[in-house]
């Protein structure tokens, strides 16, 4: 187990690597690659404070939006996420979500947010997209300072598809989710299916998406997948049946069944905790030596999470990024009768938005069927 998991974590972290010398400025490519090393990387490195301004078009929305509260909240969600990662992955991503507001967008800002407002810069950037709902555009980046400048633009209500009343900023969480997505780009994240960074963010904003799903997905970074599966915490779950409760605990349940998954040592020690009004039972997920087989690690290689690039004093690029991995292990769990049964421990293996298993799923083999023991829910 230890060997296999450390391999996975080794793949996640592309730790600071030198990418070839560059010739003096941030626009030079890395050794024959057509893409500059800082293409799509985080805009603001270090612990300076981002100076934000925003402008709102009168046509942006008819609802009474507290723009600062939405911006503050979205950046706070990222700040919390980065704090967890920095704590759990034993790395320090030099990214910041600290910010102050300027009274107006006068050109001295680091980041402008245009709510439906257009200007020459917006129009020029917009021509790169087809009828966008929003985008983040970095206009300058000083790789030596690790500091850029740019803007986020978000389309006015009904302007993308008037017929379908889209986008609709009066729907709860929509604007928050849109900002969360665009700030993810500012932090150097690519698109990742199943998270707030999913490319088809418009699907989540749709009025056809039920309100609970919208709340869960538009207020969290993680969704049906983790952006980065750091694991030293307790995950809440659903999906355990009364029969499974009885198989695992040896008794019928009393009242509501609760289930959680306790992961420590970055997923090296995993316990499913199943309970009801009468008490709790801890079921260790056993990564035995015999079952130390990782049957399905997948890493979305093209995906870069929190990509960082800056130039050191010798004009060498220093780059760093995480990937978004998925893996599945053969494991065992022990039933109440003492029987050791085969199980699967899966992280990020969901493949579509309709996959409701969540980022973590544990299934055990019962009468030749895979039965859910734990499904993570986002709350
Ligand atoms: Zn995007």
217-250 pLDDT per residue, tens: 999 999 888 998 877 889 999 878 999 999 999 9
Residue 26's pLDDT is what? 28
**Do 138 and 185 form a contact (C-beta atoms < 8 A)?**
no
DSSP reduced 3-state for 211: helix
Encoded tokens for 156: 């006015």
> Please, which pLDDT band fits residue 306 given cuts at 50, 70 and 90?
very high
How far is it, in rounded angstroms, from Cα 149 to Cα 192? 24
Please say whether the beta carbons of 268 and 329 come within 8 A: no
Ligand 1 center–CA 36 separation, angstroms:
20
Distance 187 CA to ligand 1 centre (A): 12
Asked whether 177 and 205 are in contact (CB, 8 A), the reply is yes
- Cβ–Cβ < 8 Å for 147, 45: yes
Structure tokens at 37: 């090393």
Cα of 176 from ligand 1 centre, angstroms: 14
Distance 15 CA to ligand 1 centre (A): 25
C-alpha 251 – ligand 1 centre gap (Å): 49
Name, in order, each residue with C-beta under 8 angstroms of 378's C-beta and a sequence gap of 6 or more. Answer: 216, 217, 220, 222, 223, 358, 359
For residue 39, report the distance from its CA to the centre of ligand 1, in Å. 15
**How do residues 246-304 score in pLDDT, each as one tens digit?**
999 999 999 999 999 999 887 888 999 999 999 999 999 998 655 555 555 555 556 78
Position 265 scores a pLDDT of 80
Under 8 Å between Cβ of 59 and 72:
no
Run of H or E including 242: helix 242-249
Residue 180 C-alpha to ligand 1 middle, in angstroms?
Answer: 10
Half-sphere exposure of 323 toward its Cβ, with a 13 Å CA cutoff?
Answer: 18
**Spacing, Cα 262 to ligand 1 middle (Å):** 32
CA angle 47, 48, 51 (to 5 degrees): 140
Ligand 1: centre distance to CA 241 (Å): 38
Residue 185 Cα, ligand 1 centroid: separation in angstroms? 7
User: 181 CA to middle of ligand 1, Å?
Assistant: 6
How far is the centre of ligand 1, averaged over its atoms, from the C-alpha of 64 (Å)?
25
Distance 198 CA to ligand 1 centre (A): 7
**Confidence grade of residue 3 (pLDDT, cut at 50, 70, 90):** very low
| Through-space distance between the first and last CA atoms of the chain, rounded to whole angstroms | 30
What is the whole-number distance in angstroms between the Cα of residue 300 and the centre of ligand 1? 17
374 token code pair: 């734990």
Q: Do the beta carbons of residue 44 and residue 148 sit within 8 Å?
A: yes
182 CA from centroid of ligand 1 (Å): 6
pLDDT digits (tens, 9 = 90+) for 7-58: 333 333 333 332 222 222 223 333 333 347 888 899 999 989 999 999 999 9
Measured in angstroms, how far is the CA atom of residue 227 from the centroid of ligand 1? Answer: 14
CA of 196 from ligand 1 middle (Å) equals 9
Distance (angstroms) between ligand 1 centre and the Cα of 131 equals: 13
The mean per-residue pLDDT over the stretch 157-172 comes to 95
The rounded distance, in Å, linking the Cα atoms of 273 and 260 is 5
How much distance in Å is there from the Cα of 40 to the middle of ligand 1? 11
Give the distance (Å) from ligand 1 centre to CA of residue 264. Answer: 32
**DSSP E strand stretches across the chain:** 13-21, 50-56, 99-101, 111-115, 134-142, 147-154, 234-238, 258-264, 269-276, 279-285, 298-299, 305-311, 316-322, 325-334, 340-347, 360-366, 369-376
Give me the torsion for CA of 121, 123, 124, 130, rounded to 10°.
140
How remote is the CA of residue 163 from the centroid of ligand 1, in Å?
Answer: 23
CA of 199 to the centre of ligand 1 (A): 5
Maximum alpha-carbon separation in the chain: 71
Question: How close is the Cα of 193 to the center of ligand 1, in Å?
Answer: 11
45 Cα–ligand 1 center, Å: 20
Encode 271-322 in three state secondary structure.
Answer: EEEEEECCEEEEEEEECCCCCCCECCCEECCCCCEEEEEEECCCCEEEEEEE
- Residue 199 pLDDT: 92
Residue 356 pLDDT level (bands cut at 50, 70, 90): low
Cα–ligand 1 centroid distance for 329 (angstroms): 31
CA-based nearest residue to 178, from 214, 150, 126: 214
Cα of 70 from ligand 1 centre, angstroms: 18
């Amino acid at each position: 187990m230890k060997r296999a998991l450390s391999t996975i974590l080794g793949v996640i972290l592309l730790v600071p690597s030198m990418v070839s010398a560059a010739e003096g400025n941030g626009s030079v490519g890395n050794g024959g690659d057509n893409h500059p090393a800082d293409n799509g990387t985080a805009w603001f490195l270090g612990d300076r404070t981002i100076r934000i301004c925003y402008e709102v078009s009168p046509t942006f929305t008819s609802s009474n939006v507290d723009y600062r509260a939405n911006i503050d909240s979205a950046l706070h969600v990222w700040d919390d996420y980065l704090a967890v990662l920095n704590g759990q992955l034993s790395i320090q991503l030099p990214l910041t979500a600290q910010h102050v507001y300027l009274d107006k967008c006068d050109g001295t800002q680091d980041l402008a947010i245009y709510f439906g407002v257009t200007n020459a810069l917006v129009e020029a950037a917009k021509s790169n997209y087809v009828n966008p709902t929003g985008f983040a555009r970095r206009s300058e980046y000083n790789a030596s300072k690790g500091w850029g400048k740019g803007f986020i633009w978000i389309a006015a209500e009904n302007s993308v598809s008037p017929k379908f009343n889209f986008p609709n900023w009066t729907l709860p969480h929509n604007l928050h989710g849109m900002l969360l997505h665009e700030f993810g780009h500012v932090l150097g994240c690519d698109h990742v299916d199943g998270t707030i960074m999913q490319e088809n963010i418009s699907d989540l904003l749709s009025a056809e998406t039920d309100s609970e799903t919208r709340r869960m997905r538009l207020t969290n970074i993680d969704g049906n997948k983790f952006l980065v599966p750091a694991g030293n915490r307790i995950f809440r779950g659903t999906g355990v049946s009364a029969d499974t409760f009885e198989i695992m605990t040896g008794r019928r349940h009393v009242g509501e069944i609760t289930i959680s998954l306790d992961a420590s040592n970055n997923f090296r020690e995993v316990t499913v905790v199943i309970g009801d009004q009468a008490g709790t039972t801890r079921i260790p997920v056993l990564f035995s030596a015999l079952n130390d087989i990782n049957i399905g690690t997948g890493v979305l290689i093209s995906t870069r999470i929190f990509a960082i690039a800056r130039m050191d004093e010798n004009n060498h690029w220093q780059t760093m990024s995480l990937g978004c991995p998925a893996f599945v292990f053969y494991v065992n769990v022990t039933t109440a009768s003492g029987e050791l049964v085969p199980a699967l421990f899966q992280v990020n293996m969901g493949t579509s938005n309709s996959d409701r298993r969540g980022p973590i799923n544990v299934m055990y083999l019962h009468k030749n069927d895979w039965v859910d023991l734990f499904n993570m829910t986002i709350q």
